[in-house]
Amino acid sequence: MKLRGESAIRTLDDYAGSTMERKQPIIGNFNWVTPSTPLSSINLNWRERELPERLRTKHVHRLHPYLGKYVPQLVEIFLRKFEPQTVLDPFCGSGTTLVEANSLGIASVGCDVSSFNCLLSKVKTDKYDVRKLESEIKDILSRTVAEINRAGIRKELVEKEATPFLKQWFSSKALFQMLLYRSFIENYEYSDVLKIILSRSARSARLTTHFDLDFPKKPQTEPYFCHKHQRTCRPTDDALTFLSRYSLDTIKRITEFSKLRTDAPVKVICGDSRKVELPQFDTVVTSPPYVGLIDYHEQHRYAYELLGLPDRKDLEIGAASNGNSKKSRADYVKGIGEVFANVRNSIKDNGVVVIVVHDKDKLFADMASNIGFKTEEVLVRNVNRRTGRRGADFFEQILIWRAA
C-alpha cells in the first residue's frame, strides 16, 4: 500500500546533537518512514525549535482548543510505519488520528463518549464545498452584526434562552451576541462548522483571566493583574470580536486541509468504546485519557450549555473529578481494559495497537496479556515542550501491542 506523500529525503545541515540525530530528516516531514524503518532509528524527543507549535497545530488541528490531544506528527509516523488499511481510535478526542489518516489516504474510524469531541472530529474531517462554506460563514456573521445594529441587545433573549451556567460565565452583551448567532445556525447547510466557531468564541469570551483559559475556577468580573500581559486587564464583555476572528481562521484552516484531504472514508461513532459494536480494522493508534488528569466534558462545558449537547460525563474513564486514589486507578484499569477487550473482538488477525500514554503508575503493565494481546515494544518519549505552564520534564510511553 502506497501512502500519499513524496519519498524524497532531506537532512538538517545544522542539526545539533549526536551523529544519529544529525542524519534525521527535517522535522515535520516524515515521508521517509516506511514499514522497514526501525522504530529505534526515529527520534521522537522533539524540542520546540525542531517541531514548533505552528507545525503541531497545522490546518484543522487547531480548529478549536482541546486539552489532552497528542502530536499529529507522532500519529503520522506510526501510520507510515504500519500502513493500515483501516485505523481505529477508540478515544478519538479532537480527531487527530482521523485527520492524519485521511491525509494519507487511510480509512479511519473514531469513537468517543463525548458528543462535543465527536462533533469536532466530524467537522475537521468532513468534505466541504469550500466556496459555499466561506459564503455561509460570512453570511451568518453579517446577519448577526446587522441584527445587533438594528435592534441592539435584547435582554429578553438572554433571560429566556440562557442557562444559569451561561449567565454566570458571560457578560449579558457577549451572551446576547452568541445566542443571536446561535439562533441563525440551523438555516445553513454547514451548521456543524458554525457550532464549532460559536464554541471556540465562547471559550475566549468567558469571564476569566487571559492566563487561565484552560482551567478557570470562578468567573472574573473585576479588573485584575494579568500574568500573561504583565499589566492590569479587564475581563471581556464582547463575543462578536471572537466570532469574527474565528470565522476567518476557520475558513483558512479548512481551506488548507481541503488541499490535503483525500476520499478515504472517515466514520465517527459517538458512544462508549467499551460497548459499541466496532467495524473491522487492522490497526489502532490512540492516546487514552490519563487517570485523574482532565475532565473532558467539563473543559467544554460552555459548548454543552450553548449547543444543547448530551452530557455523558458519568461514562468518562479516568476523569479528574474521580481523583487518583487506589480505587480510581483500579476503576481506570478496568475501564481501559474493557475498551481494549472490545477492540480485540474486531481487530484483524495480527493487528497492531499503538497506545500513547503517560503510564507513570504502570497501570498498563499486565493489560495486554489479559485481553489477548502481546507487547512487542515499549518506547519512552521525552516531551520536552508542552502547552500550558508545566515546567518539569514529562515522559510518555508508546506501547506497541500485537493481537495474539
Query: What residues form DSSP beta bridges with 268?
Result: 110
In tens, the pLDDT along 163-184 reads 999 999 999 999 999 999 999 9
Distance between CA 336 and CA 352 in Å, rounded?
17
Q: Specify the pLDDT at position 210.
A: 85
pLDDT of residue 189: 98
The whole-number average pLDDT for the span 307-333 is 95
Region 361-372 average pLDDT = 93
Plot region of 361 (φ>0 → left; ψ -120 to 50 → alpha; else → beta): alpha
Q: By the 8 A CB rule, do 207 and 221 touch?
A: yes
**pLDDT tens, residue by residue, 7-37:** 332 222 322 333 333 344 446 678 999 999 9
Q: What does the pLDDT read at residue 46?
A: 86
Domains and CATH numbers, the chain: 42-115+264-296+309-403 (3.40.50.150), 130-257 (no CATH)
Out of 2-6, 212-216, 340-344, least confident range: 2-6
Which pLDDT value is given to residue 227? 83
pLDDT attached to residue 388: 46
Mean pLDDT of 34-46: 91
Amino acid at 55: L
* pLDDT score at 5: 55
pLDDT band for 53, please (50, 70, 90 cuts): confident
pLDDT tens-digit series, residues 119-131: 999 999 999 999 9
pLDDT, mean over the chain: 90
Beta bridge partners, 381, equal 396
